[in-house]
Structure 1
Amino acid sequence: ELILNPHLKKIENAADLRDVDRFEQAVDRYRANLESRIGRIYAAAGLLQGLEGQLDWSPVILQLAHIGGYGELDYFILADESGENRIVKAGEIAEKTRHLPDNATQVEIFNEAISRLDQQGSASISGLLLSEGHGPLIYAAGRANWTTDKLPSIYIAVRRIDDTLIASLGERLGLTVNAMTHDESIKQREYYGVDLGQRSEDDTLYSLLRNDAGDVIVHMRFKTAPRAFDDEIFSPTIVAALIIATLSWAVVIVLMKRAVIYPIENLAQTMRRIRQSSNYQQKLNYKHNDELGKLVDEYNELLEHVANHTSKLEAYSYKDALTGIGNRRLFQERLDYLWKLASRRQLSLSAIVFDLDYFKQYNDRYGHDGGDHVLRQFSY
């Protein structure tokens, strides 16, 4: 958990941000839909301008809004280039709520649309606006040059970005989204200690909807799916896992001591006694036929090999190679030992010295082989 959590959080955050991007793309598609409605308005008006002398334009102008799409809109603004002769037509939503813009809001929206049309030099535009009178809006506007002055050249379709629209767009994407005020967003993010785009403890994500100029239009709150993993270092799952792991390792350590550590310590003590006593005839005792048992068997073979070689070395060290009797080294060690023993017990020591008469002449006459034969016979 401790190793995977940072990676899982990155994956989760990327998925959350994709949901925010999907919602922003849905808003962009809604803007494009409004622009397409304006296209239908001007297409219909273009067919009618040739009938200028035969039509009463007053009712026709009011019906142009319905041609552009009456449903899911708050209202429409039709005006000339000056904006003085404006007509506001309620859409499906405003007819239910009776919530039409006042004159100041109409001027604000008209000036925003004209400014964007002048900047982009296109026949139609769409955008987001935070209106002082009507709050956040999605709008689409178009401009046309008619041969008659009875048709409005400016057409603006407006939809307020309220909880209904946000919830509708979120529902189509399988998301739970709602709008909130600036102060609410700041307060809740400070309470949970998260920034924009970070999931809070209650699985909530806070984000901003901005217009093309980067201005904040709406503060949004996304209700995300519950987290599928523990994000706390000492969560119940991790604490339980640590306890189980600790107990498991304790059992493993106890078993290792009984099966490995203690036998090794016993073997080490035996090896130490062998080294100190130089008694290589001893053997290591281990009853199990596991890997350590195989090692013990090999070591016992080594001890036997060392004992054999030690015996040979001792023989070479204390016996004369020719006669097989004790050499000067053995004589010196025996003399030292007996001298000390005699000193402690107040005893006398005796030494017998043998001499071979005429050995040199015999050796010179019959050679070294003959002399060696005489020495061996004498030593027996």
Structure 2
Amino acid sequence: MNRRRYRKFLLWCLGLDILAMGWLGYRYIDRKVPDEIYVSEGEDQKVAQLLEHPLLKFEDAIAVSGEGSYLLPCRLLGFIPFKDIKVRPAENGTVYASGNTVGIYMETEGVLIIDTGEIMTEQGTSQDPAKNIVKPGDYIVAFNEQKVTSKQELIEDISHLDGDDVTLDLLREGQEVPVSLTPVKDTNGDYKLGIWVRDNTQGIGTLTFVDKEGNYGALGHGISDVDTGELLHISEGSLYQAEVLGIQKGESGSPGELSGLIRYEPGRVLGNIDINSKNGIYGHISAGKEGMFLKKMPVAYKQELKTGPASLLCCVNGKVQEYQAEITRIDMNHEDTNKSFVLHVTDPELLEATGGIVQGMSGSPIIQDGKLVGAVTHVLVNDPTRGYGIFIENMLEAAE
């Protein structure tokens, strides 16, 4: 009896192992074969070659007409349906790769609520009037039905409170939500709502590309609030010239950073910031192009990337230089588009200067085989010589 139970247990374990291996194998192949690809005109007959995998068989591709996309079925081991890959026709594109360090200033759409706080009242008690009514990440867009665009406007509105309830219109997860708050009089006799707010953000990053019309993309990831972690909803913003003044080298467990100087002066503005998306910030360059590093080069689609030598453009010593690196892993279908491949910095000069990838290098263009393939987005905290990148096609797609 015991032997029979033991054999059943072993069979169960074997079955679970086989299922786990099958699932992991499926996930591995799924990550290697993209769900969607862009194909340049004249390259339609090479699609199956570009996606070649020993365990997959692709049906013959049909011609790209330029009028629309088509589906390319593929089968596992030649007979098990695996997935249909969407093939989109596209033109061979070129942009100007940059690598310049830029200053970023953005104003939020409304006033961002960071958190709520307790107020000590005249009676010596502690109250939190906004708790469980407003949430971190909410945006105040109106105060008693009057539009609010800045923190200063909100402070002025609060200074005129007389104890009556107030109505705040909040932008919460894309929906406008009205809430009512009862102000509390503090020990100084002033009425307060007990909320911490912010209406702008600033920092430095790296310009990735500029197209022939002057439209640009930078960072390779969106700008989120440091307290809430939410992607900032912006009303407007500006891109400024910036200077790198110092470098804190990255070490295992401690990411480094570029220390920069941004002069928020009209004469230092490079352009506007129109979009803050998960794949980067976007806008139009209106001034200063003559002093920027801009190298014209073709863009590569993600299926053209391969593990092996690459390089990146960045500015750590006052001018943009090209540094050697290596692409070590590629994930065609990562849930987070700005973590689609892993880059390993190998250039001795850059390693000596920064320790690898540091904060402020987000957006640094990545080049392979003479084409712009992507941009640096994140550093691995436990190994600053390595970081993640985003496919350039995803940055360009978000800019459209």
Structure with the greater relative contact order (CA < 8 A, sep ≥ 6): 1 or 2? 2
Same fold by TM-score greater than 0.5: no
- Give the structure with the larger helix fraction: 1
Q: Whose strand proportion is higher, 1 or 2?
A: 2
TM-score range, shorter chain: under 0.3
Larger Rg: 1
